[in-house]
Structure 1
């Protein structure tokens, strides 16, 4: 009888340990900043300085882009395009941060059922290769059938191919 009690105690202890350890796995927290495009609440759009002047950024400080192939209020970027250029999405109405014209901020329904954020009726996107806030690696790239530009606070694309601090009237080495 004593042996059975011991066996049950070990089994119960192992089961309790398994339950406790099962709760110690990855709970999704503290994994660094959220991936661009993941909506976990209302998106915030702000204005930050960049080599191209003042531009729109997401709440996390990453540059926001528009795609010239889009129509007003409609996105043409999905599937493989949206993997490279994740759309800024929101759960609820987006918030206007500092120096953002709240009248230009809006939303649209994307083909995948998510709510995309628009500014001046342009759907907004991140650029996946931008690895840090302040990166503007997607500027003036011809990709997925059109050009991509950072967006100024007026809602217009900034079409400069080189940062303002690099632009000169002198011929370059190219």
Structure 2
């Protein structure tokens, strides 16, 4: 059964049967996919791969991800924006405690996060593709898929973070 992080909706779901049935019927916001290179990784709505941006590894600019990835970067790597009412439902193989939202650097919008990492899409791929953005170094850091346990998947030449 999918789990949600919004406590108000969970409490309401237990208060009456109708909201609980609606909660069960919701599509998970995050789910898990598998790729030969990276193994199991998190995907967002529609099965599209999501990435964390490691700016604290070799060749990074050491800025927070949402400050490092601005205008030109966001054309290639748009954040996974959500609104305050978004219900980040996850399937049983993901940890709902790791799911959340972080304010954009200017605090105007919210970005979906997993294990505290703000999440981004790669504009050059869609849900029918595997994580082709995994391991790219650009815009001040490394773009990395995230495992269901919340850890970055460091394959190939992706260095460990210095944070």
| TM-score category, normalised to shorter length | 0.5 to 0.7
Indicate yes or no: 2:109 matched with 1:97.
no
Indicate yes or no: 2:103 matched with 1:109.
yes
Q: From 56, 68, 72, give the equivalent of 2:42.
A: 56
Structure 1 or 2: larger helix share? 2
1:44 equivalent in structure 2: 29
Q: CA deviation at 1:135?
A: 2.3
Q: Which runs of 5 or more structure 1 residues have no equivalent in the other structure?
A: 1-41, 163-174
Q: CA deviation at 1:105?
A: 0.3
Asked whether the equivalents of residues 48 and 54 of structure 1 are also in contact (C-alpha less than 8 Å), the reply is: yes
RMSD: 2.5
1:81 equivalent in structure 2: 73
Question: Normalising by the residue count of structure 1, what TM-score does the alignment of the two structures yield?
Answer: 0.62
Length, aligned pairs only: 121
Separation in structure 2 between the aligned mates of residue 152 and residue 159 of structure 1, nearest angstrom:
10
Indicate the structure (1 or 2) with the bigger Cα radius of gyration.
1
Deviations 1:93-146 (CA, angstroms, capped at 9, x unpaired): 422234111000010111352210111100011101114433211111101011
Asked whether the equivalents of residues 72 and 122 of structure 1 are also in contact (C-alpha less than 8 Å), the reply is: no
Q: Which runs of 5 or more structure 2 residues have no equivalent in the other structure?
A: 1-26, 57-62, 158-163
Separation in structure 1 between the aligned mates of residue 113 and residue 66 of structure 2, nearest angstrom:
9
Q: Secondary structure at the match of 1:86?
A: coil
Indicate yes or no: 2:89 matched with 1:65.
no
